[in-house]
Amino acid sequence: MKIWIDADACPNAIKEIVYKAAIRLKVHTYFVANSYLKIPSSEYLHLIVVEKKFDEADFYISEQLHPQDLVVTADIPFADIVVKKNCVAINPRGEQYTSESISEKLSMRNYLQVLREGRIIQGGPSSFSDKDKKQFAAAFDKFTARVPRD
């Protein structure tokens, strides 16, 4: 089992939670981004820098996934791919995407995109908060509790 982080837009607070857990649990964790990120030195933390192309990090991660891997991403179309590969996908706000919920999430995302393009609504999601951080930590802990211990 591996953990994959869609790291370009991932909040630093989430990365910090993942760093500590990956080292504590001894789980190989991959931060995939299109630019260099500073990550702690550990045999369990890996930075993969991909080309600066649209969805290149998503494409890279999706090619590496094995069932039961965990992916942290806010990208709903990418989360759909992850779920279809029998992997776990959670967003930085702690919401797990499931085969039951992903269709609704995609539909809502597409609907809101049409409204934004038509200038009927503006803006995106609310700012990342401490509550979001706590919800992520709880969801992440729930998943990592299943990691076999030495």
Residue 48 belongs to what domain range?
Answer: 3-97+128-144
Residue 57 lies in a domain: yes
The whole model's pTM is what?
0.85
Quick check: is 104 in a domain?
no
The answer to the question of residue 139 being in a domain is yes
Q: Is residue 136 part of a domain?
A: yes
Q: How many domains is the chain built from?
A: 1
Give the span between the Cα atoms of 136 and 150, in whole angstroms: 25
Q: What is the pLDDT along the chain (150 residues), one digit of tens a residue?
A: 899 999 988 999 999 999 999 999 999 999 999 999 999 999 999 999 999 998 999 999 999 999 989 999 999 899 999 999 999 999 999 999 987 877 777 666 555 566 657 767 666 566 889 999 999 999 999 888 876 655
CA distance 48 to 37: 9
Separation of alpha carbons 115 and 118, rounded Å: 5
